[in-house]
Chains A and B, each alone.
Chain A
Amino acid sequence: MLLEAPFTEDRIRALRVGQEVEITGLVYTGRDAVHKYLHEGGKPPVDLRDSIIYHCGPVVVKEKGRWVVKAAGPTTSIREEPYQGPLMEQYGIRGVIGKGGMGPKTLEYCQKVGAVYLHAIGGAAQVLAERVVAVEGVHMMEEFGSPEAIWEFRVERFPAVVTMDAHGQSLHRDVLAASQDALRQLG
């Protein structure tokens, strides 16, 4: 189904684990440096209310004066586990795109503030780069360097799967438990 901006609380709370979505709208990249900076009280350079953060360190180059995205797959999300939930609450972040899923703390905040975790296909750098139709800006490039900067990506039909929702459900938790059971039964 289509998940279109604005990413309001209603729209986000309507999502359920296991749904495939195609995201259209503006998303902001942010990985380790950004999360640490915000966690330490740094002021966000963009308004994060009802926003989606993308855990991604893209390869972006300037061609004829324009930014062009060369590769834009997700990076491992769990590194932001200590920060993500509180930042969702503080700034009204409604969604996080990444890979590998996140833990119980983030899940709790998803439920509390009305947010979701959206799993992109790890490694699909080319397919995902094609869905970034425009780069609308970049922030903190000086401080953090290109892969760690905050890129404003206009995406169109960017594919992802809801793997943690605002109702306390986590596909990662369920698949882990089911596979552990299956292993026990194999003996």
Chain B
Amino acid sequence: MDAKTLEAQLLELIRRTSTRLPGDVVRAIEKGWRREAKGSIAKSALRTVLDNIELARDKSQPMCQDTGTIICYADLPAWCDEPTFMKAYERAVVKATKVGYLRQNSVDSITGKNSGDNLGPGNPAFHLHQTRQKSLTCRMMLKGGGCENVGAQYSLPRADLGAGRDLAGVRTCILDAVVQAQGKGCGPGILGVCIGGDRGSGYLASKEEFFRELDDTNEDPRLAKLEKRIVKEANSLGIGPMGFGGATTLLGCKITHRNRVPASFFVSVSYMCWAFRRDGFRLSESGKVTRWLYD
């Protein structure tokens, strides 16, 4: 595949990611809308959200004006090395910014200056791996700033919360994060959680959980049980969409774990807003998309 084709396919991936929500997310929002009481502000908030999802898709315009941090994961086969991929992706990002699929969203942390094209140190955030597969797999998400600000990391034990170094303590931390967040992360939200790891790897793994589909089941039965319990309990707290009150506070909770050193026990919680923009595809060497990974 030539560089131009790769760039064009990546641009299409970015466009889709910014303007459409994946089917599992839309279904979860619809379910929340059905559940909320007739005439409640929670119900009409979710109605507006659903209308927005449709409008953004039909007009091919950004779901939300904050097009977030661009996070890109790719498995690269022998025919595509890292520099080739990164260059094509960056060119696609610049183009997507020019045509308005992405907002100018990359700011120099020292000077405050906006780079204007979404490129800069750490932007986009690449996570690249080699694969022996024949095709190239690329997944990406756009992670909004408002919801990123309500993420939280806990170091256990936490006496003030009564949280010890076990799954009960983990549950306490996660529910605390939900209450702290209220509606500020544009809920209903989705949580990605990592138990263990260090401060860096824990947060990273918590975000990778967002690539799971909302209706899947965790392979670890203990975590599967905890995920279900968190969603149920969070939705009983009455925070609701936008923090207006209601029964739909979380659309999902995905939990993973990493080993830790004996001295540390972190629980890292990432919060994703309802504008949960993720997409991905598989690309053949001839430049064809053989599969979109989320419907």
Contacts and interface: CB of A to CB of B under 8 A. Distances in A.
Interface string B96-121: 00001001000000000000000000
Contacts of B182: 172, 175-176, 179
A174 B44 CA distance: 20
Interface string B39-55: 00100110011011001
A119 B244 CA distance: 9
A50 interface: no
A76 B48 contact: no
A177 B249 CA distance: 15
B103 A59 contact: yes
A100 interface: yes
B274 interface: yes
A161 B45 CA distance: 9
B274 to A, nearest CB: 6
A126 interface: yes
A58 to B, nearest CB: 7
B54 to A, nearest CB: 9
Greatest chain A CB density within 10 A among B45, B236, B274 is at B45
Size category of the B interface is 35 or more
Contacts, number: 124
B238 interface: yes
A183 B49 contact: no
Contacts of B175: 183, 186
Contacts of A121: 45, 48-49, 52, 242
A120 to B, nearest CB: 9
Greatest chain A CB density within 10 A among B237, B240, B274 is at B237
A163 B59 CA distance: 31
A100 B186 CA distance: 8
A174 B244 CA distance: 10
B275 interface: yes
Contact of B65 (A72, A175, A183, A186): A72
Does more than half of chain A's interface fall in helix, strand or loop, or is it mixed?
mixed
B162 to A, nearest CB: 9
Contacts of A122: 146, 183, 186, 242, 273
Which are the 3 A-B pairs with shortest beta-carbon distances? Answer: A71-B65, A122-B186, A126-B55
Given A125-B64, A172-B243, A179-B239, 6 more contacts: A57-B65, A59-B62, A99-B186, A125-B65, A182-B236, A183-B176
26 contacts: A20-B41, A59-B65, A76-B149, A76-B184, A78-B184, A100-B184, A101-B243, A122-B146, A123-B66, A123-B144, A123-B186, A125-B56, A125-B64, A127-B55, A159-B44, A159-B48, A161-B41, A172-B183, A175-B183, A175-B244, A182-B238, A183-B175, A183-B176, A183-B237, A186-B236, A186-B237
Interface of A: 18, 20, 57-59, 61, 70-73, 76, 78, 99-101, 119, 121-127, 130, 159, 161, 163, 171-172, 174-176, 178-180, 182-183, 186
Interface of B: 41, 44-45, 48-49, 51-52, 55-56, 59, 61-66, 100, 103, 144, 146, 149, 175-176, 179, 182-184, 186, 233, 236-240, 242-245, 273-275
